[in-house]
Amino acid sequence: MWIFVVALVTLLILGYLYSTRKFDYWKKRNVPHFRPVPFFGTIYPVLMHKRSISQYLCDVYNMTDFSCGGFFLFDKPALVAKDPDLVKSVLMNDFSHFGDRNTAENKENDLLSAVSLFMLKNSEWEEARSRFTSTLSMGKVKAMFPLVVDAADRFVEHVRNVELSREVTECRELSIKYSLEALSAYAVGIQANSFQNSDFYQAARNLQNATFSRIVHSICYFFAHMFVKPFRMKFLEPESVKFVTEVFKKNVKLRREVEHTRVGLLEALIKMEGEFKNYNIDIQGLAISLEYITAGFMSNATTLSFSLYDLCVNPKHQIRLRGEIRSVIAKHGGLTYAALREMEYLDMCLKESLRRQPILGFLDRLCTKTYQIPNTDIIIDKGIPVYISLYGLHNDPRFFPNPEKYDPGRFAPENRDQLERFAYLPFGEGRRNCVGVNLANMIVKMGIVKLLLNFEIVPSKSTPDEITLEPSGFITIPKREEINVRFVKLAE
C-alpha cells in the first residue's frame, strides 16, 4: 500500500512541476497576466462553462491598460493583443510571423475539417485560399441575388402565415432557417426547405450545435490541442457531416449529368477538377462546401437575429431604416442588387449590431517564428498563440464612446475616418479575413429589408432589455439560445 501512496505522490509532484514549468513566462517579460494555477493555467472559468471563450478573452483584455495581456492555456503561455497597432502588426504588417490560426491539426481523424480554409496551415492554406477565393467573388455573389430574394420571400411568407399569430417569436431560430435557406442554394445546390424543418435543415443545424460534447470538442480544438487526437475528436458533428456529404455528392453527380446554367459553388468546384494538383472534389471540394455552410449560415443567422433585436428595442432607428428602404427601392424601380448596395443606413445599422455582438468574439493566430513586439523589448517565442478580443475592442470606450449604446451613427460616412480601423474587426482583417463577407452581407441585408417592408418588429412579453450571452461555446450565443420579439403586420 505504501508503495502505491509513494508512487501517487511522486506522480502528483512530477505533474505539478511539469504543469508549472512555464508559469514565469509572462513575469519574465513584464507582461500583465492572470495568475495561473497548477494543471489548469488560467482557463478554469472556460473549462467549467462559467465563461465562454470570447468572454474569457475579453476578461484578459480588460485586465490591463497595457498593450497586451498574458494568460495560460493549461501549461502553455498565450497572449491577448490589445493595442490596435499591435493588432495591425499581427493581422497584417507582420503576417509572416502569424500566418496560422491556433487550431488543432487532426487529419487522421477529421480530414474534412483539417483541409478547410479555417484549419489549414502554412503553404497548404496559401494554395487553398487562392483557389477558393474566386468562388465568392463579387460577380458570383451578384449572380446569387435572385436566389437570395427567393429565400427571403419564403422567409416573409413563413412569418406572415405562422409568426403573426404568435405573441412571441424566437427570431434566432427563425434567422437560422432563413440563412440556411439562402445559403444552401449556393453551397449544395438545393432548396433546404428549412421552414418545414427538413432533414437537411436538421443535419446542417447540428453540424456545430451547442450540445455539451460539441462545446468540449470546440474548446479542445482551440485551447487544448493535446486531447484532440488521442480522443479522436471531430470539429463537426459526424452524423450531420455524413448526411450533408451524401447530399453534396448526389448533387455533384447530378450537375455532371445534366447541364445547368446556374452559377453556384458546385459548378465552380467541378470546374476545378483537372485545373489544380492535390485537388479532390470529394475531399477539398466537400470540405469547402461544409465550411461555407457551417460558418456561413450560423454567422449570418447570428448577425441577423441580433440586428432584428436591436431594431426591435430601438424603434426610431427601425422607422428611419424602413423609410430609407422604401425610398431607395422607389428610386431604382424595385429591389435590385444595386438598390440593396445603396442602402447606407442599412449598412450603418448592420455594422453597429456587429460591433455590439460580433459573430465570433475573437481572432486567433499562432506565432510561427520568434517575434519582438514593436517599440518594446517583449519577445514572443515560436509556438505562442496570440488572440485578439473583438468583444474587448468593440466595447472599448477609447474607440467607441458609450459602447453599450446602440448608435448606427458611429458608422456614418462623415464619422468613418475617425474610427480606429483595427479596433473594429467583425470579419477579421488581412490575408486571413473572411472570404464570404460580401455574400453574408447580402443575405443578412436582404432578410432585414424584406421583413421591414412587411412587418413591424416590436418587443414581446419576453423580450429582454439587453441580451445576455451563454457562458459556453466559441460562437456568440444568446442565453437559452433565444432572442424573443413579436412581428406585427404593417398598416396598409
**pLDDT at position 69:** 98
Rounded to 5 degrees, what angle do the CA atoms 259, 260, 264 make? 135
Sheet bearing 169-170, strands edge to edge: 169-170, 484-489, 455-458
Dig out the grid coordinates for 182 from the structure.
439562402
* pLDDT over 70 (residue 276): yes
Q: What are phi and psi of 481, to 5 degrees?
A: 55, 35
Neighbours of 9 (CB within 10 A): 10
Domain boundary assignment for the chain: 83-489
Render pLDDT for 427-466 as a digit per residue (tens, 0 to 9): 999 999 999 999 999 999 999 999 999 999 999 999 999 9
**pLDDT at position 189:** 83
- Rounded Cα–Cα distance for residues 352 and 448 (Å): 14
Confidence class of residue 175 from pLDDT cuts 50, 70 and 90?
very high
Q: What share of the chain is helix, strand, coil (3-state, %, to 5)?
A: 55, 10, 35
CA 289 from chain centre, in angstroms, equals 16
DSSP 373: P
In 3D, which of 426, 427, 432 has the Cα closest to residue 121? Answer: 432
**pLDDT at position 131:** 87
Render pLDDT for 312-365 as a digit per residue (tens, 0 to 9): 999 999 999 999 999 999 999 999 999 999 999 999 999 999 999 998 899 999
**pLDDT at position 75:** 94
Domain 83-489 belongs to what topology?
Answer: Cytochrome p450 (1.10.630)
**Portion of the chain with pLDDT greater than 70, in percent:** 99
Dig out the grid coordinates for 126 from the structure.
496559401
* pLDDT over 90 (residue 23): yes
Confidence class of residue 295 from pLDDT cuts 50, 70 and 90?
confident
Greater pLDDT, 190 or 342: 342
Alpha-helix residue ranges (DSSP H) falling in 261-417: 265-272, 286-313, 315-332, 337-342, 344-356, 390-394, 413-416
* pLDDT over 80 (residue 294): yes
**pLDDT at position 260:** 63
What does the pLDDT average to over 31-53? 93
Residue 312 among known ligand-binding residues:
no
In 3D, which of 313, 311, 319, 394 has the Cα closest to residue 355? Answer: 394
Greater pLDDT, 400 or 130: 400
* pLDDT over 90 (residue 96): yes
Rg of the chain in Å (alpha carbons): 23
The mean pLDDT value of the chain amounts to 93
* pLDDT over 90 (residue 95): yes
Greater pLDDT, 264 or 151: 151
**pLDDT at position 474:** 75
Q: What are phi and psi of 22, to 5 degrees?
A: -110, 10
**pLDDT at position 356:** 97
* pLDDT over 90 (residue 30): yes
DSSP 3-state of 456: strand
Stated pTM of the model = 0.95
Render pLDDT for 211-240 as a digit per residue (tens, 0 to 9): 788 888 888 898 889 899 999 999 999 999
**pLDDT at position 233:** 93
Pick the range with the lowest mean pLDDT from 331-335, 414-418, 424-428.
414-418
DSSP 3-state of 73: strand
* pLDDT over 80 (residue 263): no
